[in-house]
Amino acid sequence: MPVFRVIDQAELAARASHFGALVFTEFTLVGTVLALLAWWLAGRLTPPAREYSLLALSIAVLAWFGSITLAVAWVAYAVVFHAAVERTRARWLSMLGVGVLLTAMIVLPVAAIGPLGERGVHVRAFTAFATNMAVLRFHAYAWDRWHGRAEPQSLAAFLLAMFFFPTFVNGPVEVPREFAAAWVGPERAIRRAAVRDGVARVALGVAKLLAVALALPPNWTTLLESAGDAPALALWGWSLLLYVWFFLSFSAWTDVGIGLGLLCGHRVPENFHSPWLARDTADFWRRWHVTFGIWLRDYVYIPLGGRRRHRALNVLVTFLVSAAWHIWGSLKLLGFGFFPVHAWDGLLVWGLLNAVGVLAAAAVARAVGAAGAWGVRAAQVGTLLFASLCWLAFFLPPGISFSTFVAMVGRMLWPVAS
């Protein structure tokens, strides 16, 4: 069945209904109502009271998408984590406590996939997305405190940084040491601009995902299950479509997070900077999922040694950590039954390909510099194609083996090689 075709009104209505049932749509509606309430309250409350009101609204979002029980569990977890970092005198005991707590956050959502699913599809998806973001923030807080990169935070400030609802579900990634410095001024003109820009940004995110929902059938990526025997032209077409679809879908979440943040009086960092203009793979990762890339740089790549020693190994390990993070996210949605170990090959290959691309970036940059304007355009097209090929590996269905994927790539590259 082709991806794009003429559709009748009934199918169009079905696609619109599917869009309405997404966790994205419910989160955007609930988040917008609460963010507008936060904007109204901000002009009537003192800064400390505003902080507590935002914390209360953020916990309300936890209860809405999970349950009161899960919201209490989240808050209790954060209180214990804060105590493990700030109240434990012995460093080794603090590190042990944080290690146990982070391990629990990684293991429990996967182990509880069944019970979470019984509470509703949105509960499981919300928990999967939120824990992917939360583990980054919790780890960052402990690391920064242990290494003297951040001042201690009060419990209320810590809880707000961890649970700030505009970015809690699907980012952008905000680490606690940066969170407190990004508030918008209280002046009336600034607040009016914030609400205008915030609503516009939320609308942009909704428009992106609505366009995707109406243009493509639900679960269209299942077509990739037949990719093993597909010709090269079809594979390149699917790869480029994956790039466009993933960018629109993912950046829609970013737009909503940034827009809701502005309504709450907070400037959320950008997450995408025109990745299609990237001249090499390293440049691509400075433009795509920027906040996660910064997190990987600050908490994986540099601690390993960065450029100072074993750079190639450090780059490889950093992308393998990224691949593991995405594998974990998939497991929380699908479980081992639908996403067994052999299905992880695609994400691991995606990490390996990107690591090789980043390590080759310096040589590509030198060649581009010597080739002039046409070299820049060629490098941008080549980077776009390489990233698209990597997305094919990223979304590789579990039913396609590693050897089949290698054969697919061979068919895709053969016309270029010949």
Percent share of the chain, pLDDT over 70: 97
In this predicted structure, what is the pLDDT of residue 69? Answer: 93
251 and 360 housed in the same domain: yes
Give the tens place of pLDDT for each residue, 67-126: 899 999 999 999 999 999 999 999 999 999 999 999 999 999 999 999 988 887 789 999
Give the tens place of pLDDT for each residue, 245-267: 999 999 999 999 999 999 999 99
With respect to residue 2, please indicate whether it lies within any of the assigned structural domains.
no
208 and 179 housed in the same domain: no
* CA dist., res. 45 & res. 42, Å (int): 5
- What stretch of H or E contains 121? helix 121-146
CB 208 within 8 A of CB 255: yes
In this predicted structure, what is the pLDDT of residue 255? Answer: 98
With respect to residue 1, please indicate whether it lies within any of the assigned structural domains.
no
Q: What is the pTM of this model?
A: 0.94
List the structure tokens of 370: 């010597």
Number of domains observed in the structure of the chain: 2
Give the tens place of pLDDT for each residue, 215-245: 998 888 888 888 888 899 999 999 999 999 9
170 and 241 housed in the same domain: no
Q: Structural domain of residue 271, as residue ranges?
A: 197-417
151 and 207 housed in the same domain: no
Given 189, 222, 246, which residue is the final one in a domain?
189
The whole-chain average pLDDT of the chain stands at 92
167 and 277 housed in the same domain: no
333 and 304 housed in the same domain: yes
Give the tens place of pLDDT for each residue, 272-318: 999 999 999 999 999 999 999 999 999 999 999 999 999 999 999 99
In this predicted structure, what is the pLDDT of residue 418? Answer: 39
List the structure tokens of 71: 């919201």
116 and 23 housed in the same domain: yes
In this predicted structure, what is the pLDDT of residue 370? Answer: 76
29 and 110 housed in the same domain: yes
Nearest to 94 by CA among 142, 134, 136: 142
In this predicted structure, what is the pLDDT of residue 399? Answer: 85
Given 127, 156, 189, which residue is the final one in a domain?
189
With respect to residue 59, please indicate whether it lies within any of the assigned structural domains.
yes
Given 173, 189, 205, which residue is the final one in a domain?
189
With respect to residue 343, please indicate whether it lies within any of the assigned structural domains.
yes
With vertex at residue 338, the alpha carbon angle to CA 336 and CA 343, rounded to the nearest 5 degrees, is 80
- Does pLDDT of 9 surpass 90? no
CB 218 within 8 A of CB 18: yes
185 and 209 housed in the same domain: no
